[in-house]
Amino acid sequence: MNTRPAELPETLVPDGTARGAAEEVTERDDVPASRYEILGELARGGMGIVFRARDRLLNREVGIKTLLKNPAPAPVLARFRAEAHITGQLQHPSVPPVHELGVLPDGRPFIAMKLIKGQTLDALLKARTDLDADRARFVAVFEQIAHGVAYAHAHNVVHRDLKPANVMVGAHGEVQVMDWGLAKVIGQSADPTAPDGETAPATVIGAPDGDSDSLAGRAFGTPAYMPVEQAIGAIDRVAARSDVFSLGGILCAILTGKPPYVSATGEGARQLAATAKLADCRARLSACGAEPELVALCNWCLQPEPDDRPADADAVARAVAAFRADVERRARQAELDRVRA
């Protein structure tokens, strides 16, 4: 896409000023460089828009995310700033690195981040002609997703909007968990002197001062992948196990081609989620023909009661890793048996 969108100036600098593209780029410490040249729009959602841009200082392509509305409501601005702070502190290969947080000349904030080249998991799943096609590959992708979310959970961060559309898969197999706009720091780090011996995470993630959380009684996220507690707006109950339900939803989409809750409208899906109407989902899982271990893990994640699900994404990642290791062991054994025969 070569047409430059009208929403952003031709180039951006961290302090929010704009300069012409032909202006010489300077690296003097006392003069901000004309750094980002907007090349085209990549995607947009209900509140935000993402552009492909060139970082002129380092001569690389990056992603630039900003808000659609200007002026944006104060809670939206606070949430956008929190996304930059939280994502920027999650240093994991499956979380996109944040390079910079700045302000546009019109007052909108922007985030400069790693440009992810690839396709969403949602697009890849919809492109399948057979549910059995590339299942092993998608299970491997799922394991990487779980590891990335597990890192966030270890630092008391929940994503709250996990779904295939928020996962990017690169041409070389790299996996990125995207769109941490609803992410929330859910508590303080564990006390290393606690009687149970739980240790504190290596890094304590902090949201910026003034971060506004979702309002009680309102559902935030994607209803088709949403646990009960999130669907009814019980934000005090949303924790790592809530993300685990959504991970189960992603695995459900991999195994059956559809999310846990299927409805013609978002509100219809939310009502199904609010009452945990999972009979159709479980029937699809039983009939999908996938390995029993995967079906059992998916059903475990999709339990209505949080306490009945795996404790966090790390437990899910370990279960998937054990399953894949067992598959490889059986394949090696089968090959040895063929050689002996």
What secondary structure letter does DSSP report for 31?
Answer: S
Set 55, 161, 243, 314: catalytic member: 161
What residues are paired with 65 via a beta bridge? 50, 111
- What is the CA angle 53-41-74, rounded to 5? 90
Of 148, 80, 110, 147, which Cα lies nearest the Cα of 11?
110
> If you search the block for the tokens 């959602």, which residue do you land on?
45
**Residue 112 CB coordination number (10 Å):** 22
Question: How is residue 40 written in tokens?
Answer: 């085209």
User: Which one-letter amino acid corresponds to residue 222?
Assistant: T
Is 36 in contact with 112 (CB distance < 8 Å)?
yes
> If you search the block for the tokens 């991970």, which residue do you land on?
247
Of 185, 127, 177, which Cα lies nearest the Cα of 155?
185
Distance CA 34, CA 93 (A): 29
> Quick check: is 161 catalytic?
yes
**Residue 306 CB coordination number (10 Å):** 18
Burial readout 274-302 (b: 16 or more C-beta within 10 A, e: otherwise): bebebeebeebbeebebbeebbebbbbbb
DSSP per-residue letters across 251-310: HHHHHHSS-SS--SSHHHHHHHHHTT--HHHHHHHHHS---HHHHHHHHHHT-SSGGGS-
- Helix 240-256 vs helix 313-340: crossing angle, to nearest 10: 40
- Our measurement of the distance from residue 314's CA atom to the centroid of its chain's CA atoms, rounded to an integer in Å, reads 15
* C-alpha dihedral, 238 to 181 to 167 to 263, nearest 10°: 60
> If you search the block for the tokens 């996304």, which residue do you land on?
83
What residues are annotated to the active site?
Answer: 161
